Amino acid sequence: MSLGIAVIGAGMAGKSHAAGYRVAPTLYDTKLPDLRYVSIADVNEPLARATAARYGYERHDASWQAVIEADDVDVISIVVANHLHRPILEAALAAGKHVLCEKPLSDTLQNACAMAAAANAADTTARLGFVYRRAPGLTVIRDLIADGTLGPVLHLSARYWTDYGCDPKAPMSWRYKGGEGTGALADVGSHLAYVAEYLAGEVTAVSGGQLRTVIGERFVPAGAVVGHGLAELSDETEPVENDDYAGFVATFGAGTAGALEVSRVAAGHPNSLIVEVYCANGSASWDQRTPSELGLMLHEGPHGQRGHRRVLLGNDHPYIPGGMPMDVSGVGFGQNNLFEFQCRAFLDEVAGVADPLPVCASLDEGVHNMELLGAVVESATNGGRTVTLG
């Protein structure tokens, strides 16, 4: 058995998938079948060519259709603009491919539901990339909640600050187009929503929804735009159609509440996902800027000696033993490693490898994620009123 791999999308996250598949067979003791690194596809053909060469893929393609039609491709990652997810996934499943799709699942809830239905009817595997579920620090906190060390969550505070849109000269791209809630809320809020549920359980209601656009126009680029990078600009501007900032309060199934905020205009925060949970027996925190450690405080010992301690993550913690060349504390790791764990988990499931890592998210979970984000939009457009899920 061998598996031919292709990545559709050669931008920032596409490179993370391309690299993740290359590293996947080096992780852990179980063996994957032979992997063939077949194609990187992108409409920006020079970028596709360069990415394929950089990561050792056999060829590049200038269209996603070419990948779908290729007989030597078995596994596909979809890492392109959200509105393209549905047609690519449906075509890939119809062609008998296994598919790993980036979040959010799609651009609209209707499209997301159709994608989930297609996945549930398919003979092949379709999964969604909720990559922060692979963060060792967040998984440690989740385990400490579940085993009673931290105990039930009383409340949660979480924010995902980014600054890729804080410069008014950041060029117009698909990220600034779409209806309400398709901006920062969909881009990084989709991450924050599933991270909050990973720790505190399923969200049952949202309230206090806020959506704000603070930079109302963007210059149209004179050429191609890659990822969040700056580019040469034309003199033409177009209106920004979606949100630069979003915030809301979530109510979880056990009555727990949490405040969540996201931004793409938080100057000085290129990628700051920060989560704090306050529990019956103490509290814990994790910060994407220092991802190989966590903060932990437990109600133990004399009151005068209690406080947060810094825990360095190492081979006593999830994903790390055998998952890194130097799997000891103090070495450090980051978000790139999470894509490696995610690609390995997906390939494990596709290949039927014994004792695989926890499987990637289902497309039904992706639908729930979009329902949650849709509830935030509904709350925001109705003066912050409470919206119940389910």
Q: What are the contacts of 296-301 at 24+ separation with CB within 8 A?
A: 296/144, 298/149, 298/150
Domain ranges (residues) in the chain: 2-132, 136-290+292-332+368-380
* Domain 136-290+292-332+368-380 annotated CATH 3.30.360.10: yes
Measured distance CA(307)–CA(286) in Å, rounded: 16
CA angle centred on 347, ends 343 and 350, rounded to 5°: 140
How high is the pLDDT of residue 54?
A: 98
pLDDT in tens, 209-238: 999 999 999 999 887 776 666 678 888 999
pLDDT in tens, 80-90: 999 999 999 99
Q: What is the mean pLDDT of residues 114-119?
A: 98
The residue type at 67 = V
Question: Does residue 104 have a cis peptide bond before it, meaning omega lies within 30 degrees of 0?
Answer: yes
Asked whether the beta carbons of 7 and 76 are under 8 A apart, the reply is yes
> How would residue 390 be classed by pLDDT, with cut points 50, 70 and 90?
confident
How high is the pLDDT of residue 231?
A: 73
Helices (H), 57-135: 64-69, 85-94, 109-121
Q: Which of 32-36, 125-129, 174-178, 214-218 has the lowest mean pLDDT?
A: 174-178
How high is the pLDDT of residue 45?
A: 96
Q: Under CATH, what is the fold of the domain 2-132?
A: Rossmann fold (3.40.50)
H/E segment holding residue 20? helix 12-23
Least Cα distance to 252 among 145, 324, 178, 167 occurs for: 145
The residue type at 61 = D
Least Cα distance to 1 among 37, 32, 38, 27 occurs for: 32
Which residue did the predictor score with more confidence, 305 or 113? 113
How high is the pLDDT of residue 308?
A: 92
Asked whether the beta carbons of 247 and 260 are under 8 A apart, the reply is yes
What are the CA-CA distances from residue 257 to residues 12, 57, 146, 154 (Å)?
34, 46, 18, 7
How high is the pLDDT of residue 232?
A: 81
Share above pLDDT 90 across residues of the chain, in percent, rounded to a whole number = 91
Measured distance CA(105)–CA(24) in Å, rounded: 23
> How would residue 326 be classed by pLDDT, with cut points 50, 70 and 90?
very high
> How would residue 339 be classed by pLDDT, with cut points 50, 70 and 90?
very high
Tokens 């603070």 correspond to what residue?
214
> How would residue 380 be classed by pLDDT, with cut points 50, 70 and 90?
very high
> Is the pLDDT score of 72 beyond 90?
yes
How high is the pLDDT of residue 274?
A: 98
How high is the pLDDT of residue 153?
A: 97
Asked whether the beta carbons of 70 and 46 are under 8 A apart, the reply is no
How high is the pLDDT of residue 224?
A: 72
The residue type at 320 = I
How high is the pLDDT of residue 227?
A: 64
Query: β-strand 126-129 against 217-221: which pairing, if any?
Result: unpaired
Q: What is the mean pLDDT of the chain?
A: 95
The residue type at 292 = S
Number of helical H runs and strand E runs in the chain: 10, 17
How high is the pLDDT of residue 354?
A: 85
